[in-house]
């Protein structure tokens, strides 16, 4: 959110680069060092007594001998310190609240509070110039955006957020509003956070980090988000000026098995709009995470529950986890073909319009014949 405030005219690509720098392992390691948190990390199992003991009680010293280092030194990779910083942030969030966590992250010197030169919090960049309010109202009424609000069960105070969330760059070039890409950048991160928080608060706290990652990736993948948008008929409100996009969306909508297909090319614009809509709601409700979740949770519905109980992992990921190998990939004049092999030596062939789809199909074929 700080980056969204701090760089009001930056596109999603620039924001993504700045975000990557901020949350990189190297930066988190630097913060651990500068905040004198290095000495609080134990990476080796503490053994209290015996010949393998490595714990030194406070106030004690070790007489110089060959085993001195096991009491005073540890060998730790830098990533472990980055992981520790992330764990501390998670601990604050689970044991306190969002505001306290943000203050702790600010203490760490992470860029989470957008402060100006006078150390005041920056105002949110205007989504549109105020003198264009009449034009926004006209678009809102002429293009039936009230239908979206009815389905959301929420009325936007600033209609420009709603319209921007549904405006593609091909349309924004000839329009008074910008495209949704900045909102989509923020909405993507916001959806991840809300889903993870929901899992930790409402489900088994012993759930592994890997499982949480699987659930998050399954729930927020393009196929699911696109399906949600289409199932509520919200795709009809997307504003674009491209025949190619129109054909792609129509092809997707006409597919009778869009929710279950693994080989269907999902129009990215559908998932992008859903994420942009989440950000638009967030800013319109004055940054209330609770209200955002209350509005979007009904849209996630059964997909949310199913992802938590049994996340549908990417077939290429599941295939790799089972020890499968990609043997050969090639493309002819009409399609791409991929040949894979399972650990038992069995080969499977997949086909698709491009290499990615062919690989996905081959991996799914192999997984469907586990015997």
The per-residue pLDDT string of the chain (371 residues; one tens digit each, 9 = 90 and over) reads: 899 988 888 888 899 899 999 999 999 999 999 999 988 887 778 888 887 787 878 888 777 666 777 777 777 889 999 999 999 998 998 888 888 999 999 999 999 988 888 888 888 888 887 778 889 999 999 999 999 999 999 999 999 999 999 999 998 777 788 899 999 999 999 998 998 888 887 776 667 777 787 788 777 777 888 989 999 999 999 999 999 999 999 988 887 565 555 445 688 899 999 999 999 999 999 999 999 999 999 998 878 888 777 777 777 878 888 899 999 998 887 788 999 999 999 999 988 777 887 888 888 888 877 55
In a domain, 119, yes or no: no
In angstroms, the CA 225 to CA 270 distance is 7
Note whether 159 and 209 are same-domain residues.
yes
Cβ atoms of 280 and 274 closer than 8 Å = no
- The whole-number pLDDT of residue 256 equals 53
Q: Is residue 82 part of a domain?
A: yes
Residues 339 and 349: beta-carbon distance below 8 Å: yes
In angstroms, the Cα distances linking 351 to 33, 36, 63, 119, 233 are 51, 54, 68, 57, 31
pLDDT for residue 75: 79
Question: Would you say 304 and 202 are in contact if contact means Cβ atoms under 8 Å apart?
Answer: no
* Alpha-carbon dihedral 248, 252, 253, 258, rounded to 10 degrees: -170
| Domain extent for 340 | 318-368
What does the pLDDT read at residue 157? 95
Which CATH number characterizes residue 163's domain? 1.10.1520.10
Whether residues 296 and 364 share a domain: the answer is: no
pLDDT computed for residue 161 by the predictor: 95
Predicted pLDDT of residue 263: 46
Same domain? 363 vs 278 = no
Shared-domain flag, residues 57 and 145? no
What CATH code is carried by the domain that includes residue 351? Answer: 3.30.160.20
pLDDT for the residue 238: 96
Helix (H, G, I), strand (E, B) or coil at 329: strand
Q: How many structural domains are present in the chain?
A: 3
Q: Are residues 15 and 36 in the same domain?
A: yes
Residue 229 token pair: 């948008």
H or E element that contains 339: strand 336-341
- Note whether 277 and 354 are same-domain residues: no
pTM: 0.80
């Amino acid at each position: 959110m700080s980056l969204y405030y701090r760089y009001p005219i930056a596109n999603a690509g620039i924001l993504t680069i700045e975000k990557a720098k901020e949350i990189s392992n190297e930066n988190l390691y630097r913060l651990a060092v500068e905040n004198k948190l290095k000495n609080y990390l134990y990476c080796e199992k503490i053994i209290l007594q015996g010949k393998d003991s490595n714990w030194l009680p406070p106030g004690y010293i070790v007489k110089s001998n060959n085993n001195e280092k096991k009491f005073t030194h540890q060998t730790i990779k830098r990533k472990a310190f980055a992981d520790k910083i992330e764990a501390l942030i998670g601990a604050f969030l689970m044991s306190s609240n969002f505001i306290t966590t943000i203050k702790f992250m600010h203490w760490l010197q992470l860029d989470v509070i957008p402060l100006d030169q006078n150390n005041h919090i920056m105002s949110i960049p205007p989504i549109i110039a105020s003198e264009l309010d009449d034009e926004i109202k006209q678009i809102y009424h002429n293009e039936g955006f009230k239908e979206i609000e009815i389905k959301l069960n929420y009325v936007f105070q600033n209609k420009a957020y709603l319209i921007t969330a549904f405006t593609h760059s091909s349309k924004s070039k000839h329009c008074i509003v910008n495209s949704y890409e900045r909102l989509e950048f923020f909405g993507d991160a916001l959806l991840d956070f809300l889903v993870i928080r929901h899992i930790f608060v409402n489900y088994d706290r012993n759930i592994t980090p890997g499982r949480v990652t699987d659930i998050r990736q399954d729930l927020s993948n393009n196929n699911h988000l696109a399906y949600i948008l289409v199932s509520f008929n919200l795709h009809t409100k997307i504003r674009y000026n491209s025949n190619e996009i129109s054909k792609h969306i129509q092809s997707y909508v006409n597919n009778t098995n869009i929710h279950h297909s693994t080989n269907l090319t999902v129009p990215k614009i559908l998932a992008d709009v859903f994420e942009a809509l989440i950000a638009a709601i967030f800013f319109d409700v004055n940054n209330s995470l609770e209200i955002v979740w209350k509005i979007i949770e009904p849209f996630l519905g059964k997909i949310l529950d199913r992802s938590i109980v049994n996340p549908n992992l990417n077939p290429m990921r599941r295939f790799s986890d089972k020890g499968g190998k990609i043997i050969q990939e090639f493309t002819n004049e009409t399609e791409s073909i991929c040949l894979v092999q399972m650990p038992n030596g069995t080969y499977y062939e997949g086909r698709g319009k491009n290499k990615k789809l062919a690989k996905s199909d081959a991996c799914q074929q192999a997984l469907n014949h586990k015997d």
